[in-house]
Amino acid sequence: MRIIAGTLRGRRLNPPQNLPVRPTTDMARESLFNILNNYVDYEDCSVMDLFAGTGAVSFEFVSRGAREVTSVDINMQCTEYIKAEAARLAVRNLHVVRADVFDLLKRANRRFDIVFADPPYALEGLPTLPDMVFDKDILTDDGIFVLEHPREFSFEEHPHFWQHRAYGKVNFTFFAKQLDE
């Protein structure tokens, strides 16, 4: 895996083989950020990366100048790997939190400009994530929530649905607090 753009462009992430993750492919990450580039000023952006895994999406936000990034994962190997990579890359604005995402969302008390979630595709509560994000009001007024999910899920009927993009087996659904473009 490589960081695609920004100050860390071209730097490689080499997670251990035993991490229990399904990383977002470089191609899908590049497509995701090509979409976000049209709507986001990264320098003024606070980001929460849920189910962070290898941290590849978090590092991409950092590399593109995000003000601060919070990476959340329940797996200790994942959080330790992200911390080690942040130290290796001399990243200072990435905060790593080891927590269950559902518990964290229930007690969340701050807001983010972007919330990205890449849960395990077989996760039982995956369809509830958009409601949890919006019910807890963790997005800023012009915030965006991006959910990566398998193709069998459709969120087009969700009141905050904004757009859907598919890249092979990777699907991104974008939700916005305010839907005017």
pLDDT of 44 higher than 60: yes
Residues with Cβ within 8 Å of 15's Cβ and at least 6 positions away in sequence, in order, are: 1, 21, 23, 54, 81
pTM of the model: 0.94
| Cβ contact 141:177 at 8 Å | yes
Question: Do strands 170-176 and 161-167 pair parallel, antiparallel, or not at all (unpaired)?
Answer: antiparallel
Q: In what order do the strands lie in the sheet with 112-117?
A: 94-98, 68-73, 46-50, 112-117, 139-149, 170-176, 161-167
DSSP characters over 151-179: TT---TTSTTEEEEEEETTEEEEEEESS-
% residues pLDDT > 70 (the chain) = 98
| Cβ contact 3:60 at 8 Å | yes
Enter the CATH code of domain 28-33+40-176: 3.40.50.150
Write down the mean pLDDT value for the chain.
93
Domain range annotation of the chain? 28-33+40-176
* Mean pLDDT along residues 86-115: 96
Q: Quick one: pLDDT band at residue 1, thresholds 50, 70, 90?
A: confident
Per-residue confidence (pLDDT) for residue 169, from 0 to 100: 87
Which of 109, 175, 108 is CA-nearest to residue 144?
175
Q: Quick one: pLDDT band at residue 157, thresholds 50, 70, 90?
A: very high
Which of 160, 77, 156, 147 is CA-nearest to residue 119?
147
Per-residue confidence (pLDDT) for residue 18, from 0 to 100: 84
pLDDT in tens, 53-82: 999 999 999 999 999 999 999 999 999 999
